[in-house]
Amino acid sequence: MTYKFQLSKWQLIAWSTGLLLSTPLFFLLVESLQGDSEVFTHLWNTVLWDYISNTVLLVLGVGLLSCLIALPLGWLTAYCRFPGKQQFEWALMLPLAMPTYIIAYVYTDLLDYAGPIQITLREWFGWQSPNDYWFFDIRTLPGAIIMIALVLYPYLYLIFKTALREQSFKLVQASQLMGLSAWKSFFKVSLVLSRGAIVAALALISMETMADFATVSYFAVSTLTTAVYDTWFGYYSLTAAAKISGVMLLLLFLALITERFSRRNQAVFERQSSVNSEALYILKGKSAWLATGFCSLILIISFIIPMVVLLKYAIMYFDQAWSSEFFSYAWQSLKVAAVVSVVTIVLSVLVVFYQRIAKQVNPLIPGRLASTGYALPGTVLAIAVLLPLTLLENTINRILTPYNLDIGLLLTGSLLTIIFAYIVRFYAVAHGAIESSFSRISPSLDMASQSMGKSQGHTLRLVHLPLLRRGLLTAGLLVFIECMKELPAALLLRPFDFESLATHVFQYVSDEQLELASISALFIVVVGFIPLYFINRSMEQHS
């Protein structure tokens, strides 16, 4: 009896979370089913296919480039010893703290036709016009792919590295003993064992890429996200915009189904008893240089150059850019990010735990439902969140009217709405990281705990949580940083007197004057360092 009651308790929590977090999406879909298909048909006949192909190419491109960057980095820092390894291990996460629109801005400034690099080249070689030479055009689809991948690769890097660390070294050692070269062992053992983690990270990267608005619009690359904006704010048709969001979700579900399908028979339960502090491969000579060189190159491009440019701006424009209000913006951003991180972690642990213990059909549904918000672009999400919340508010107000009471905009006029929107948006980030960590805990531990008469709640608290510590930290870090950077939803949902660092920076970026917001931009990045520091310390202590 007890067992049954407990299961239904977990079921209730998981399903409530799934349903609650998918409510905005549900409202949006209802909106998309309304009439007014004239605009949608027009788009379908004119530009929609261009948008879809751009979106698919963008997602595939970012995914591929992230793999090319992050998998070697993850493997090198997890298993190898080479000069600078310890510093790189930490530093390679840093680009995560950099909002994509900042890196895009910085590189456009550097690389476009009117930027210093091309100007210098023209001066050197005497070229007069664009017809005299070829140069990589940054404001294009490939440019957007590079910019987004440079910021998002750390997702894959972090999750892949965590997965490698949590795998038994014995397997890799065994592959070594059987004479597999490092390369072969990487492909045949590490990649295969971490496939689940890699796919989970790629799913996150894909969703984040799909939702990106700032970079693609800055680069004039029309994607479904920009189409949603245009339709909504240009054609003033929320219904058609919702229909396009529907197309995006369809793509997303296809991706998720493919992911599930590819992992259908996979179950890998590995856990090291203690991580070997000795590296498996000690790189020397050319390979050591190559490893250090590759890590340095990625770090320089993805982080150091943008930081140097920001610092240069901050120094040059200090008088115009400095404001004592930064501390209050930073504090506002921090408190929202902290609340959202804690809530999403708690919710995703509960939902993933339910997935683990549930005996019902399709226990994955609540988690999938709760994760759908991630693919929505911030502005769409903002309205999707406003739809149910205003309805709720209005209903409560209507009920209270006869009693001369009125809650006004208690929900939508306060920070609660932003917090809810962020939870909807970033739940998937926490879920992905925690699910991947959970999957590596052998079910035999659960059985052992159960056989000792421990309840499921006890098992979760005493067995799983300690083992999940690193996954939880990773999840919390990712959500925290995402919240710090989040922009469109914050712009739209913030109450009076609320300014986050991101909204402050974007006001200037949107006017192509990042210089004047360089100090705030630096703040966002520096504030992002704090959780990075903690997670790194925890990883070090663990090993």
Partner 1 sequence: MKKTLALVVGLIISAPAVATDVVNIYSFRQPFLIKPILDDFTQQTGIKTNVVFAKKGLIERVKREGKHSKADLVLTSNFSALIQLEELKLTRTIDSEKVNKNVPAAFRDGDGQWVALTKRVRNVYSSKERLGPLPELSYEDLAAPEYKGQICTRSGKHPYNLGLVASMIAHHGEVQTKTWLEGVKANLARKPQGNDRAQVKAVKEGLCNLALGNSYYLGKMLQDEAQKPWADAVNINFPNQTNRGSHINVSGAVITKYAKNPENALKLIEYMTDNKAQNMYASLNMEYPVKPGVKLSSLVASWGSFKEDSLPLDEISKYRPLALKLIDEVKFDL
Q: Which is nearer to partner 1, 182 or 349 (CB)?
A: 349
User: What is the nearest approach in angstroms of partner 1 to the Cβ of residue 117?
Assistant: 12
Is residue 116 a contact point for partner 1 (CB under 8 A)?
A: no
Identify the bridge partners of residue 80 per DSSP, sorted by sequence position: 281
Query: Dihedral, CA atoms, 90, 96, 99, 103, nearest 10 degrees?
Result: 60
Of the candidate residues 275, 507, 530, 538, the single one contacting partner 1 (CB under 8 A): 507
Stretch that binds partner 1, among 60-68, 339-347, 430-438, 439-447 (CB under 8 A): 339-347
Of the candidate residues 34, 86, 262, 394, the single one contacting partner 1 (CB under 8 A): 394
Is residue 512 a contact point for partner 1 (CB under 8 A)?
A: yes
Is residue 510 a contact point for partner 1 (CB under 8 A)?
A: yes
Is residue 163 a contact point for partner 1 (CB under 8 A)?
A: no
Is residue 412 a contact point for partner 1 (CB under 8 A)?
A: yes
Is residue 156 a contact point for partner 1 (CB under 8 A)?
A: no
Window 465-504: contact mask with partner 1 (x via CB under 8 A): --------------------------xx-xxxx-----x-
C-alpha dist (Å) from residue 170 to 34, 277, 320: 58, 13, 58
Is residue 307 a contact point for partner 1 (CB under 8 A)?
A: no
Q: Which is nearer to partner 1, 166 or 212 (CB)?
A: 212
Classify 502 as helix, strand or coil. helix
**Which sign does the torsion angle of CA 406, 412, 414, 415 carry?**
positive
Phi/psi of residue 281, nearest 5 degrees = -120, 125
Classify 323 as helix, strand or coil. coil
Is residue 342 a contact point for partner 1 (CB under 8 A)?
A: yes
Is residue 37 a contact point for partner 1 (CB under 8 A)?
A: no
Of the candidate residues 67, 149, 387, 428, the single one contacting partner 1 (CB under 8 A): 387
Is residue 238 a contact point for partner 1 (CB under 8 A)?
A: yes
Stretch that binds partner 1, among 179-187, 351-359, 381-389, 530-538 (CB under 8 A): 381-389
Is residue 219 a contact point for partner 1 (CB under 8 A)?
A: yes
Burial class (CB in 10 A: 0-12, 13-18, 19+), 512: exposed
Q: Which is nearer to partner 1, 283 or 376 (CB)?
A: 376
Classify 194 as helix, strand or coil. coil
3-state secondary structure labels for all residues of 241-269:
HHHHHHHHHHHHHHHHHHHHHHCCCCCCC
Q: Which of residues 131-150 bind partner 1 (CB under 8 A)?
A: 139
Q: Which amino acid is at 58?
A: L
C-alpha dist (Å) from residue 224 to 158, 368, 385, 489: 28, 22, 20, 17
Distance of CA 406 to the CA centre of its chain: 38
Q: Which of residues 49-108 bind partner 1 (CB under 8 A)?
A: 50
- Provide the b/e sequence for 305-333 (b: ≥16 CB within 10 Å): bbbebbeebbeebeeebeeeebeebbebb
Integer Cα distance of 160 and 157 in angstroms: 5
C-alpha dist (Å) from residue 148 to 109, 189, 215: 16, 29, 8
Is residue 379 a contact point for partner 1 (CB under 8 A)?
A: yes
Residue numbers at the binding site for partner 1 (CB under 8 A): 42-43, 46-47, 50, 113-114, 118-119, 128-130, 139, 219-220, 222, 229-230, 232-236, 238, 335-336, 338-339, 342-343, 346, 379, 382-383, 386-387, 390, 393-394, 397, 408-410, 412-416, 419, 491-492, 494-497, 503, 507-508, 510-512, 515-516
